[in-house]
């Protein structure tokens, strides 16, 4: 079995993982960045929408208020405030990296003003990830984590399975950035790799999971699960029922720009009541130039958004719950951190505000890397588990392939009346929306 030593092991090569690796590398740490999927990896490249940044200090309170409203009373306000206060520094850093954000932000659902910054039209996630990877001096290693390793009461590495077989990585700290679990649903905007691996690894290591029932359904997916960006509605696209009626003003004063949970429920009910829902993109000027990915995906299905509205339905999109962490990605298990969709910081509450996910991945990914490096110098639990130490061979948290009971597992479900029932019905209806539940829907996410 091959063996490797590093300071920080990052599992997952989406925005949170790559940005964390950059932060650690800038500080001279040895970093191993691992992805089970080839580039473009994770959900980040599927993001048609951009990154939501407060537009100046005067917008901070409004952005926070929009986040709290979208989260339906379950957002941890202190966490949200700290992330939003730090956000502008990351926008400045990304621009200094040479990432070509459009100078004018756009408005998306749930936002009270335009504050979502895009790259390359509707290819924001792909271009963001590509730009970050170009800054890294290390390669992305193809491998899948089978189990985390323990040394004393610390997480001290992982067992990986790669092209050459099994190998052991001893690390001072491990950062999970493995994404969500959207592929558990028959119709989803998520990539093939979104199967909840990181959450399972953390739970077996004793970390807590919370709010797993809060799964956001994106309201406008095509029949194969491909997403039609919320930015389309921000630019003027309208939702129509099977009778040709624009219905969203009946459900919310913000109409098509209401938060996603409101729009998804409305689309679901109108499909049930009238037999179908359609998104009319024709009001958008220069549609092919502004949203080339959306147009191409529709035409691949034999649909032409320049001539007729597109049939849409809700699809599983984003997991608000995950590995419970603080605002710096710490799980409570010494040596173990998490950032991005795999984690639950409390930033999103019960429902994520559009384009806040990439922002959280950036801010918490950076923070988690720095906190992990601090942990190497001033360890929370012994033995330190530093790469190259003499603490003895680490032990796996549950051998690969065998179930394991976590040492300090906490599984919290903050159920809210009606939310789970509606999500179950959305999931059941989505099975009828796809031509085959075993197909591999292609999609992008916001």
Cβ atoms of 115 and 54 within 8 Å: the answer is yes
| Residue tagged active-site, from 115, 260, 384, 423 | 260
Q: Which residue has the tokens 């392939």?
A: 401
Tokens of residue 150, six digits: 């323990």
CB atoms inside a 10 Å sphere around CB 371: 19
Do the Cβ atoms of 159 and 401 come closer than 8 Å? no
Whole-angstrom Cα distance, residue 240 to residue 237?
Answer: 10
Residue 260 known to be catalytic: yes
Active site residues: 260
């Amino acid at each position: 079995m091959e063996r490797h030593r590093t300071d920080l092991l990052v599992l997952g090569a989406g925005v949170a993982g790559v940005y964390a690796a950059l932060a650690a590398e800038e500080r001279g740490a040895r970093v191993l960045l691992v992805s089970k999927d080839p580039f473009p990896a994770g959900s980040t490249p599927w993001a048609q929408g951009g990154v939501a940044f407060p537009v100046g200090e005067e917008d901070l309170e409004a952005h926070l208020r929009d986040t709290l409203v979208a989260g339906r009373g379950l957002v941890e306000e202190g966490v949200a405030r700290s992330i939003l206060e730090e956000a502008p520094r990351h926008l400045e850093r990304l621009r200094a990296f040479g990432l070509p954000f459009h100078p004018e932000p756009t408005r998306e659902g749930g936002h009270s003003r335009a504050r979502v910054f895009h790259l390359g039209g509707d290819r924001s996630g792909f271009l963001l990830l590509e730009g970050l990877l170009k800054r890294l001096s290390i390669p992305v290693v193809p491998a899948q984590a089978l189990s985390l390793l323990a040394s004393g009461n610390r997480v001290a590495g992982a067992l990986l399975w790669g092209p050459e077989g099994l190998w052991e990585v001893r690390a001072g700290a491990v950062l999970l950035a493995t994404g969500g679990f959207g592929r558990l649903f028959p119709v989803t905007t998520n990539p093939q790799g979104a199967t909840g691996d990181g959450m399972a690894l953390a739970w077996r290591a004793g970390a807590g999971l919370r709010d797993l029932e809060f799964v956001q359904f994106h309201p406008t997916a095509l029949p194969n699960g491909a997403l039609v960006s919320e930015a389309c509605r921000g630019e003027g696209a309208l939702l129509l029922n099977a009778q040709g009626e624009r219905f969203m003003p009946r459900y919310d004063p913000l109409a098509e720009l209401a938060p996603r949970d409101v729009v998804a429920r409305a689309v679901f009910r109108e499909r049930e009541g009238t037999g179908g829902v359609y998104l009319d993109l024709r009001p958008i000027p220069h549609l092919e130039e502004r949203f080339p990915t959306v147009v191409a995906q529709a035409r691949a299905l034999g649909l032409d958004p320049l001539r007729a509205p597109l049939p849409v339905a809700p699809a599983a999109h984003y997991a608000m719950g995950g590995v419970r962490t603080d605002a710096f990605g710490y799980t409570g298990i010494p040596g173990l951190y998490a950032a991005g969709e795999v984690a639950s910081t409390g930033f999103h509450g019960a429902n994520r505000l559009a384009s806040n996910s990439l922002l959280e991945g950036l801010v918490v990914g950076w923070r988690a890397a720095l906190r992990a490096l601090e942990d190497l110098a001033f360890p929370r639990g012994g033995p330190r588990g530093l790469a190259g130490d003499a603490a003895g061979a680490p032990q796996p948290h549950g051998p690969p392939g065998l179930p394991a009971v976590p040492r300090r597992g906490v599984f919290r479900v903050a159920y809210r009346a009606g939310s789970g029932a509606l999500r179950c019905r959305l999931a059941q209806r989505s099975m009828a929306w796809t031509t085959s539940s075993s197909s591999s829907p292609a999609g992008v996410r916001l």
